[in-house]
Amino acid sequence: MTVNIGPHHPATHGVLRLIVDLEGEVVRDLKPVMGYVHTGIEKSCEDKSYWKVIPFVERMDYVSYFFQAEAFCGAVERLVELEIPERAKYLRTIFLELNRIHSHLVWLGTTALDLGAISMLWYCFRDRDRVLDLFEMAGGQRMHTRYFQVGGVIEDIPLGFEAKLREFIAEMPTRIEQYQALLDRNEIFLRRTKGVGTVSRERLLELGVTGPLLRAAGEPWDLRKTFDHLAYPELDFKVPVGTVGDCYDRYRVRMAEMVESVRIAEQALDALPEGPHIADDRKYVLPPRSELSTSMESLIHHFKLVTEGYRVGPGEIYYAIESPRGELGCFLLADGSAKPARVHFRDPSFVNLQAFRDMSVGGYVADMIASLGLLDPILGGVDR
Amino acid sequence: MPDAPGLELIRGEIEERHPGAVLDTGFAQERAALVVDPERILDVLRWLRETPGQGYTFLSSVHAADYLPAEPRFGVHYELLNMDRAERLRVKALLADPGEDALPEIDSCVEMYPTAEFQEREAYDFFGIVFRGHPDLRRILLPDDYVGWPQRRDFPIGGEPVTFTYNERDLG
């Protein structure tokens, strides 16, 4: 029997359509059909100046928006060989880790909801709201803040941000422990996730899967540790790795990652250096507004940047970072004009979805739903 | 990333094994790229994957780009990763536009790297590049009955009129 789990479905974590061949309750074959939220972001970016691309790409994987902004801004910065100041690196690291916590909270809330633990949704979203308050304090918006710009961050953190972040850092580990106390040894949760959706490490590597899924299967691969970028080389954190690679391991890996993210944010906040929050190079970065009334060059730079935008010389680059779902890569092809010639995102959800078939075939439909939740796809990233 | 001399060494070694496969090397912003003859792409990928000193066993991404107006027009990029040494290498294959309604073709690497399945479908969907030997080459993100290859540079940005309620009957 072929069943269509249509794009409108509360358990598919977005508009994902699954065409499932069932034999009774056992899944024999599975085909994901994507593209229901495809809005042609990559094509639209080709018509926008570089700084206008940032709000576009933020909206691809709409839960981990800072990561897309960092992948794009980082790619441009490497292409034009622009160094960002130390303070900006640490601020970016803090926001990336806060975004990782935010993304994992959304994942935990929605996945636990799928498995029946409805209260988890409310607890996780309560904490998520605290993270969004921090983002709003610094960036002016709760989501898709356009806070990361090429050269650093658009504004320094306001007064009171540090105090509020320290409160969050102090309380979050207790909250995570409370969530673990609810789910870690809960019999229903264990029965739904233990031994479910296991895919071997070799198969995951073949399929190009990265992120918590790969780490749960035992491969300690984390781009924060392997490639030096931002403030990660100076911070001390562990990379949680699972053993079996089933859904329960994926859950434990993500919970441990949240704890590590809190530690990273705390260390980065303690070590936050003084200095400018954005680079000085007026060819790419807007001059401070106070200078516009006194300096003619600043006015000209401001005008050029706001009207045409900065030009990025011919070249191409691929820059990848560790998003909450895996390797998020940005391929940027620049042709020397003020608009990119090609912006392509190697989205982890898109590639990880290839493992879904391996996870579900041979198991029950209910196990398929559990696997999908713990795969953590975000359809905005899948479809772009 | 292999540095510039390392890249030339790799090119030299591939030349010994598969002469004429590597057309060019590029090293910019500390990233190494090999430009490869599209007909020999599988040989080069297999060499990079299986040769004991190389070990590029992970394909991070396979994507395409349109270099119009430069010729050859289409570039298929393979971002390879050696996880043991944490080194990335880009392999580029440049395909010319065959003209008229024919589509550029290149061999699919799905057998070597199963991760390419969805990603090659995406390149086909957006650019019309046919991957020979792909088990299921059909559109992935756009509707199945879509006509045109939207990510090509000569496809207009506002490619099709947006359907609102006031014009949906006219647009069909």
What CATH code is carried by the domain that includes residue B71? Answer: 3.30.460.80
Q: Is the CB of residue B119 less than 8 Å away from at least one CB of chain A? A: yes
Chain A residues within 8 A of B114 when measuring between CB atoms: 206-208, 354
pLDDT at position A53: 92
The three state secondary structure string of A28-76 is EEEEEECCCCCCCHHHHHCCCCHHHHHHHHHCCCCCCHHHHHHHHHHHH
Nearest to A283 by CA among A75, A53, A68, A50: A50
State how far the Cα of A48 lies from the Cα of A53, in Å rounded to an integer.
6
Residues of chain A with pLDDT under 50: none
Three-state DSSP at B76 gives strand
Domain spanning A2-383, CATH class: mainly alpha
pTM confidence score: 0.92
Min distance A216 CA to chain B CA atoms (Å): 17
Closest partner residue to A346 (CB to CB) among B57, B63, B139 is B63
Contact B115 A207 (CB under 8 A): yes
- Domain enclosing residue B38, as ranges: 4-171
Residues of chain B with pLDDT under 70: 159, 172
Say if CB A153 and CB A147 are below 8 A apart: yes
pLDDT at position B172: 62
pLDDT at position B31: 87
Contact A351 B88 (CB under 8 A): no
Q: Is the CB of residue B153 less than 8 Å away from at least one CB of chain A? A: yes
Q: Is the CB of residue B60 less than 8 Å away from at least one CB of chain A? A: yes
pLDDT at position A239: 92
Size of interface A-B (CB pairs under 8 A): 96
Three-state DSSP at A263 gives helix
pLDDT at position A270: 93
pLDDT at position A135: 93
* Overall number of domains in chain B: 1
**Domain coordinates of chain A in residue numbers?**
2-383
Min distance B137 CA to chain A CA atoms (Å): 13
Chain B residues within 8 A of A320 when measuring between CB atoms: 60
Contact A331 B114 (CB under 8 A): no
Contact B113 A206 (CB under 8 A): yes
State how far the Cα of B55 lies from the Cα of A47, in Å rounded to an integer.
39
